[in-house]
Amino acid sequence: MIRQKSFENERPTLYLVPTPIGNLSEMTPRAIDVLNAVDVIACEDTRTSGQLLKYFGISKRLISYQNFNEESSTKGILKLLSQGNHVALISDAGYPLISDPGQRIVLEASAEGYNVVPISGANAMLNALVASGLIVQPFLFAGFLPASQNERVKKLREYKNYPMTIIFYEAPHRISKMIRDCFEVLGDRKCCIAREITKKHEEFLRGTLKEMMAETEGLKGEMVVIIDGNRDEPEKDIDMSVILNMVRESMEQGMSKSDAVKETAKKTGLSKNYIYELVHHESEKGIC
């Protein structure tokens, strides 16, 4: 076990410092103080962070810490800490580690006994969630879905029966496809798309997934998508092999798969979507 009393020791410290997601006035005084006090600042893009630091009059050594150089840069930061340096980790915008680099250095720095100290600040996920109009807690933050449609659909199926509000990040060039897949896999749930948070063109679209499909073409900016959890009553406790056999028997009698699913839903009281997902899953394994 490692017990960290952040401000009761003199060990070198790795600070996790959030930066504004749009509105520079949201940079906190404490974040500025920490960046002024550390010896080195690790960032995703030295040019982007250089402009931010210049705006706040901060002049510090900058090093790159990105997903593609995470192994080597983690070693570099650990070496800096071992030499007694205090290091701040920042993202281009928002909170480090939240769909941004930083996981590896936090794990290794804390395992080595260095202080890892979070600084409060901007986070697009939380901003979007509290203003979404959906149930705020409990929630599940899923980050970015896979870019491939097949992988995206598989991941959405994993989340389908979760009862909590689900939060995703998405890029503008994929938002229409992502919303369509959410509608097809999850059904027509309540949804909020928040974009350009804290910026001049901040916008919240609140409605259902079906309504969103007609509104997402041409949307710009990084987006947060908040989707209502599965609010249905839990499915009845029933042997799934019985359900599959009922669908097979109906299909053997000449019904299409769709009609067989509908017929089975009527007989069992289970939802059509639930049975369809079960049959589809078994079909992928070559069972049904």
Structure confidence at residue 242 (pLDDT): 80
Answer yes or no: is pLDDT of 234 > 60: no
Cβ contacts of 237 within 8 Å, gap of 6 or more: none
pLDDT digits over 115-173, tens only? 999 999 999 999 999 999 999 999 999 999 999 999 999 999 989 888 899 999 999 99
pLDDT digits over 19-53, tens only? 999 999 999 999 999 999 999 999 999 999 999 99
Looking at the chain, list the stretches that DSSP marks H as alpha helix, in order from N- to C-terminal side.
29-37, 46-55, 70-82, 103-111, 124-131, 149-159, 175-186, 209-213, 240-252, 257-268, 272-284
Q: Is 14 exposed, middle or buried (0-12, 13-18, 19+ CB in 10 A)?
A: buried
Answer yes or no: is pLDDT of 287 > 60: no
Structure confidence at residue 277 (pLDDT): 79
Answer yes or no: is pLDDT of 236 > 70: no
DSSP state of 134: S
pLDDT digits over 75-90, tens only? 999 999 999 999 999 9
Answer yes or no: is pLDDT of 286 > 60: no
